[in-house]
């Protein structure tokens, strides 16, 4: 028998807005683990926008999983605007019993706690209370661990029966401060479904007859989630405290309230904003028809604060010219709660290389987000900030932008190439200007995958790697002399409790071991998703990877084999490192909305061995007025 972990309703967002007003700068850590890095700046330390950007008014995200025969790991969020001196108490209620505090002293290190005293033959509910200056605040919502719950690092979310699931998005659809789930169904026609954080079905959208052609390059005008395209994302675009669902639609789409969208031209497409709680259409606007003679356009979506203050939807859209090249159009859209309107349109006319993933972040520290591709960047007003096409960059699958070198001001980028005629395999560059810092060459090849993250504390800053070897990015030196020794360049995630990243590779949770660099010992396995019933999608990618509950460490979301359950893998390992939730970091949260060929998310500060305390995010809480 499977035992499901389930969330129980409680006080909404307790301890967030009110407590945030009680203090100033956020505390980071277990500083004993972090140490001090050389001075460096990410975008959050540069020039800031005139007004703090509104972000989700999250609750504590309490989660509990068995972590042994008699132990339970309870974990919760430190919020972006929590005061520096905040601490926490943890409470447990067994069965229908009363709440009892289970920690002896106020917890001021990591935001997790190992409960070794619970009667696990009964259900146990957990909640936390914030403590500031000795005063205990209101309790959080509660999470209930079922009686005789399985010993597994998994929260199971029940779903209706249905077709294969490829992607999962998260957002606070219901306004309770916790992340709910939106999934696709890769049926014919396709559909989108929404579920609460507890697994309660909310609504379904039928993408209609124009989603039956699922060719990965030239498919239907309402087809979603094929190739490196998605055409769906979830975010609170009007900053009212509840997330909307953005989707590219065409004639024949039926919304969550049963209404069908009708249009007399099946090729023409629209940007639609749906109510996150009901799936009803709130507003739509036509996609520009500049390239309609070549058929409908596939889309890739991202949330982006183009003015530094309000969220926009940025849509990267392509279609093929005959059997040759591709038209590329990027548009930005605002939603004010009533109407969706196009802010600007950019058409590619020139040497501006794109790839299979997009990012939205402030690359030049001016306070406004830019839209970044593998070989060019658009400014917040839709003008071209720079292109790397003139430096020999061509199309490639994957790229990263992060504070890879904490000793160097600003952010750095790393990308790989596909069949570059000059033999360029990978490159490292200044993200603000596009100026190349170093390049690696070889024979003409499709490098395919590249990854960036701090996996080796023996070398300052991040490592970068493809199939050509593992390099320390700041020094351009091989972190391991034998180039055959490297992790698989899939995805990184923070999981095991130390400050360096772990790895997610085709359903395996792994960790690079820099002290045992041999073919058999270099990447010890932490767990396998398939042992718990999880299945990966195309290109071995998860449905979702990101920080959606508990402390700052990340979750991996996979469907089970029959697609009637989401498995949310969440760490069962304690940590004394204290960081505000990654979902309150603007760069990281933007990237949670992006799919394409899925890539790891990055924050706008250096997160790794020897890191400094990150700056307090320049945000406010949406819908908190």
pLDDT at 26 over 90: no
Q: What is the pLDDT of residues 548-596, one digit of tens each?
A: 999 999 999 999 999 999 999 999 999 999 999 999 999 999 999 999 9
How many residues does this entry show for the chain?
625
Find out whether 553 and 540 touch, Cβ atoms under 8 Å. Answer: no
pLDDT at 397 over 90: yes
Name residue 312's beta-bridge partners: 304
Find out whether 316 and 359 touch, Cβ atoms under 8 Å. Answer: no
For the chain, give the percent of residues with pLDDT over 70.
Answer: 91
What integer is the mean pLDDT of 366-377?
A: 97
Q: Which two tokens stand for residue 339?
A: 């109407």
pLDDT at 163 over 80: yes
Homologous superfamily of 6-155: Immunoglobulins (2.60.40.10)
Q: pLDDT value at position 539?
A: 85
Find out whether 284 and 328 touch, Cβ atoms under 8 Å. Answer: no
Under the banding of pLDDT at 50, 70 and 90, the label for residue 198 is very high
Going edge to edge, which strands form the sheet with 63-66? Answer: 63-66, 72-75, 112-115
Under the banding of pLDDT at 50, 70 and 90, the label for residue 402 is very high
Query: DSSP assignment of 313-353, as one string?
Result: EEEEEEEE-TTS-EEEEEEEEEE-SS-EEEEEEEE--SS--
What integer is the mean pLDDT of 401-424?
A: 97
pTM score: 0.93
Q: What is the pLDDT of residues 500-514, one digit of tens each?
A: 999 999 999 999 988
SS3 content of the chain, % helix, strand, coil (to 5): 5, 35, 60
Under the banding of pLDDT at 50, 70 and 90, the label for residue 333 is very high
Question: b/e map of 81-105 (b: 16 or more CB within 10 Å)?
Answer: bbbeebbbbbbbbbeeeeeeebbee
Q: pLDDT value at position 13?
A: 43
Contacts 24+ apart (CB under 8 A), 326-329: 327/290, 327/291, 327/294, 327/297, 328/352, 328/354, 329/288, 329/290, 329/291, 329/297
First to last CA, the chain: 46
pLDDT at 16 over 90: no
What integer is the mean pLDDT of 274-303?
A: 98
What integer is the mean pLDDT of 393-422?
A: 97
Please give the distance of CA 129 from its chain centroid, rounded to a whole number. Answer: 27
Q: Which residues lie below 8 Å from residue 177, measured CB to CB, with a gap of 6+?
A: 12, 13, 16, 56, 57, 58, 59, 141
The mean of the pLDDT values for the chain is 91
Helix (H, G, I), strand (E, B) or coil at 33: helix
d(CA 73, CA 63) in angstroms, rounded, equals: 8
Under the banding of pLDDT at 50, 70 and 90, the label for residue 518 is low
Dihedral of the alpha carbons of 526, 527, 528, 529, in degrees to the nearest 10: -120
Q: pLDDT value at position 519?
A: 63
Q: pLDDT value at position 97?
A: 97
The DSSP element (H or E) to which 588 belongs, if any, is: helix 586-591
- Chain position carrying tokens 């969330």: 7
Find out whether 16 and 73 touch, Cβ atoms under 8 Å. Answer: no
Q: What is the pLDDT of residues 225-272, one digit of tens each?
A: 999 999 999 999 999 999 999 999 999 999 999 999 999 999 999 999
Q: What is the pLDDT of residues 81-112, one digit of tens each?
A: 999 999 999 999 999 999 999 999 999 999 99
Find out whether 406 and 606 touch, Cβ atoms under 8 Å. Answer: yes
d(CA 301, CA 149) in angstroms, rounded, equals: 38
pLDDT at 8 over 60: no
Q: pLDDT value at position 521?
A: 66
**Pairing mode of beta strands 544-546, 525-528:** unpaired
For the chain, give the percent of residues with pLDDT over 90.
Answer: 86
Residue 402 CA: distances (Å) to CA of 10, 97, 178, 227: 37, 47, 27, 25
Under the banding of pLDDT at 50, 70 and 90, the label for residue 25 is very low
Q: Which two tokens stand for residue 169?
A: 């998005």
Under the banding of pLDDT at 50, 70 and 90, the label for residue 46 is very low
In the DSSP assignment, the letter for residue 277 is: T
Q: pLDDT value at position 50?
A: 53
Q: Which residues lie below 8 Å from residue 277, measured CB to CB, with a gap of 6+?
A: 173, 174, 175, 202, 203, 242
Find out whether 563 and 507 touch, Cβ atoms under 8 Å. Answer: no
Find out whether 270 and 262 touch, Cβ atoms under 8 Å. Answer: no
Q: What is the pLDDT of residues 301-331, one digit of tens each?
A: 999 999 999 999 999 999 999 888 999 999 9
d(CA 469, CA 489) in angstroms, rounded, equals: 10
Name residue 64's beta-bridge partners: 74
pLDDT at 3 over 90: no
pLDDT at 29 over 90: no
d(CA 415, CA 406) in angstroms, rounded, equals: 19
Q: pLDDT value at position 324?
A: 86
Q: Which two tokens stand for residue 474?
A: 């700041």
Helix (H, G, I), strand (E, B) or coil at 34: helix
Find out whether 144 and 8 touch, Cβ atoms under 8 Å. Answer: yes
d(CA 315, CA 302) in angstroms, rounded, equals: 7
d(CA 486, CA 433) in angstroms, rounded, equals: 30
**Closest of 358, 360, 376 to residue 596, by C-alpha:** 358
Cα three-residue angle 323-371-493, rounded to 5 degrees: 95
Q: Which residues lie below 8 Å from residue 114, measured CB to CB, with a gap of 6+?
A: 67, 71, 72, 73, 74, 574
How many CB atoms are closer than 10 A to CB 47? 12
Q: pLDDT value at position 625?
A: 64
């Amino acid at each position: 028998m499977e035992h499901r972990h389930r969330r129980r309703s409680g006080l909404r967002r307790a301890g967030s807005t009110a407590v945030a007003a009680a203090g100033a700068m956020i505390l980071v850590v277990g500083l004993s683990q972090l140490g001090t890095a050389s001075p460096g700046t990410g975008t959050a330390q540069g020039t800031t926008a005139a007004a703090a950007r509104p972000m989700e008014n999250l609750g504590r995200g309490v989660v509990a999983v068995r972590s042994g025969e008699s132990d339970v790991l309870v974990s919760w969020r430190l919020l972006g605007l929590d005061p520096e001196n905040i601490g926490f108490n943890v409470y447990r209620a067994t069965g229908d019993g009363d709440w009892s505090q289970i920690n002896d002293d106020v917890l001021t290190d990591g935001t997790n706690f190992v409960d070794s005293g619970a009667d696990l033959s009964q259900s146990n509910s957990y909640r936390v209370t914030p403590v500031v200056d000795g005063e205990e605040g209101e309790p959080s919502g509660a999470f209930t661990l079922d009686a005789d719950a399985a010993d597994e690092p998994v929260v199971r979310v029940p779903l209706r029966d249905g077709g294969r699931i490829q992607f999962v998005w998260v957002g606070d659809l219901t306004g309770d401060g916790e992340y709910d789930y939106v999934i696709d169904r890769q049926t014919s026609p396709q559909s989108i479904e929404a579920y609460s954080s507890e697994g309660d079905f909310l609504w379904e959208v039928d993408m209609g007859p124009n989603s039956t052609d699922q060719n990965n390059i030239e498919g239907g005008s309402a087809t979603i989630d094929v190739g490196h395209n998605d055409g769906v994302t979830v975010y609170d675009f009007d900053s009212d405290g509840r997330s909307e669902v953005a989707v590219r639609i065409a004639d024949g789409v039926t919304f969550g309230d049963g209404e069908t969208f009708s249009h007399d031209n099946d090729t023409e497409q629209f940007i639609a904003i749906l109510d996150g709680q009901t799936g009803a259409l709130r507003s739509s606007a036509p996609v520009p028809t500049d390239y309609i003679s070549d058929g409908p356009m596939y889309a890739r979506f991202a949330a982006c604060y183009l003015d530094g203050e309000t969220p926009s939807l940025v849509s990267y859209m392509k279609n093929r010219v005959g059997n040759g090249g591709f038209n590329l159009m990027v548009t930005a859209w605002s939603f004010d709660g009533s109407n969706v309107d196009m802010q600007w349109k950019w058409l590619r006319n020139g040497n501006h290389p794109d790839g299979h993933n997009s990012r939205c972040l402030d690359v030049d520290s001016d306070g406004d987000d830019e839209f970044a591709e593998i070989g060019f960047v658009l400014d917040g007003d839709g003008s071209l900030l720079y292109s790397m096409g003139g430096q020999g960059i061509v199309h490639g699958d994957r790229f990263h932008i992060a504070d890879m070198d904490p000793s160097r001001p600003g952010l750095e980028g790393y990308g790989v190439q596909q069949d570059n005629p000059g033999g360029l395999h990978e490159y490292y560059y200044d993200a603000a200007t596009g100026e190349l810092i170093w390049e690696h060459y070889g024979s003409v090849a499709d490098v395919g995958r590249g990854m960036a993250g701090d996996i080796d504390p023996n070398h300052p800053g991040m490592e970068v790697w493809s199939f050509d070897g593992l390099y320390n990015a700041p020094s351009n030196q091989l972190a391991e002399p034998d180039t055959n020794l490297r992790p698989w360049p899939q995805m990184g995630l923070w999981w095991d409790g130390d400050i360096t990243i772990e790895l997610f590779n085709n359903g395996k949770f792994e960790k690079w071991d820099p002290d045992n660099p041999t073919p058999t010992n270099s990447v010890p396995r932490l767990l396998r998703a398939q042992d718990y019933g999880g299945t990966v999608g195309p290109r071995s990618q998860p449905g979702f990877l990101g920080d959606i509950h508990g402390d700052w460490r990340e979750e991996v979301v996979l469907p089970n084999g029959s697609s009637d359950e989401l498995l949310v893998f969440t760490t069962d390992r304690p940590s004394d490192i204290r960081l505000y939730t990654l979902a309150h970091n603007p760069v990281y949260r933007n990237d949670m909305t992006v799919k394409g060929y899925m890539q790891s998310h990055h924050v706008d500060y250096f997160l790794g061995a020897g890191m400094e305390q990150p700056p307090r995010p320049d945000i406010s809480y949406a819908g908190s007025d």
